[in-house]
Amino acid sequence: MRILHVETINQVGHTYALGLERRGHSSLFFEPSLRGGTAPMPLKLAYMPGRMLHMSRGVALESRAHCDITHIHWASYGVLGLASRVPYVVHCHGLDVHYRAQHPLFRAILTPILRRAAAVLVITPDLLPAARSIRTDTLFVPAAIDTERFAPCPSAPARPWTIFLFARLDPHKGAPTAVTALERFKARHPDARVLLIDYGPLSADYQRRFADRFEFTPKMPPNRIRELIWQADVVVGQFFLGALGLSELQAMSCAKPVIVNYRYPDAYPAPPPILDAQTPEEIEAHLERLYHDRAMAQALGERARRWVLAHHHVDVLAKRLEAIYKAAV
């Protein structure tokens, strides 16, 4: 089978393709132009003709001459599916459906896109209610993790005990909750290293306030993020959505213990081996346990790695996608 991935989100389609190709399928990719996507409205409108011209190239690929099915990542790009001459699958990733399904204008746009799709998928379980308000048979199909790349570090160089906040510095990721806990922990354990990514609307404020206590690293391309994970003894994730994102899953795949707010234990056949927290006090308590019990931290990381292999390995999810594609075609 030939799959066209309309891909803009974290190279998710490229990772799926690794497993699909091992099952005998071929993949091609179309990247919609994002030029002017975050610009003010007048400039955004000026870029629109060029973006529409570029989108027409994607439509041209959606034919039997090039592919058997289209897998569209990001719901609003489902407009390409409406013009497609092959079945299409829409995969929702977050803001494309979470809030827009509740907005009358966006809902009017999303409704024909999702209802005409051969299948509708969501990348995290928190998106199911919004998507199912339009398409009741929406499925949860999570991101595949390249577990060969995101593997345990082969060596452990000497360094301070390190906490890595692997989340955008944004209220919508729960950064204030995490940073409050990290500030308190660092005050009690000045020997610990706290690593943050210089990324998000709160970054400048946090650098001003914590430059003498926290270490800030520039945002890295996806092919280098493993370097940051490998430096950590524990990874702290997000505390707002309640679901596991790529950041937490990549850290777990590297056998790192992860502290995160998780509210969907029934989404998987077995709940993930993470340390759940909702408040700064709960985050602090988990950090203290991991800091003082290194053997427990290592065991938790190893369990996390095994869980990711069972539920997020590219071959596991390629098999699920293959069944969805075959039903659609």
Give pLDDT tens digits for 231-263. Answer: 999 999 999 889 999 999 999 999 999 999 999
Name which of 147, 97, 150 is nearest 120 in CA terms. 97
pLDDT exceeds cutoff 90 at 68: yes
Identify any residues that bridge with 216 across adjacent strands, giving them in sequence order. Answer: 196
Q: What is the pLDDT of residues 9-64, one digit of tens each?
A: 788 999 999 999 999 999 999 887 555 555 555 554 444 444 444 454 555 566 77
| More confident call, 259 vs 8 | 259
Predicted local confidence at residue 40, as pLDDT: 58
Q: Are 287 and 259 in contact (CB under 8 A)?
A: yes
pLDDT exceeds cutoff 50 at 74: yes
Rounded Cα gap, residues 93 and 221, in angstroms: 19
HSE (CB half, 13 Å, CA atoms) of 216?
Answer: 18
| Region 178-203 average pLDDT | 97
Query: What is the residue-averaged pLDDT of the chain?
Result: 90
Q: Are 304 and 257 in contact (CB under 8 A)?
A: yes
Name which of 264, 296, 304, 317 is nearest 128 in CA terms. 264
Rounded Cα gap, residues 277 and 257, in angstroms: 13
pTM to 2 decimals? Answer: 0.90
Q: What is the pLDDT of residues 94-134, one digit of tens each?
A: 888 988 888 888 899 899 999 999 999 999 999 999 999 99
Rounded Cα gap, residues 275 and 186, in angstroms: 19
Tokens of 258: 């992860």
Name which of 234, 231, 85, 207 is nearest 155 in CA terms. 231
Predicted local confidence at residue 156, as pLDDT: 73
| More confident call, 58 vs 178 | 178
Q: What is the pLDDT of residues 265-311, one digit of tens each?
A: 899 999 999 999 999 999 999 999 999 999 999 999 999 999 999 99
Radius of gyration from C-alpha coordinates of the chain: 21
Rounded Cα gap, residues 51 and 199, in angstroms: 27
What CA dihedral angle connects 267, 11, 316 and 246, to 10 degrees?
A: -40
| Region 160-169 average pLDDT | 97
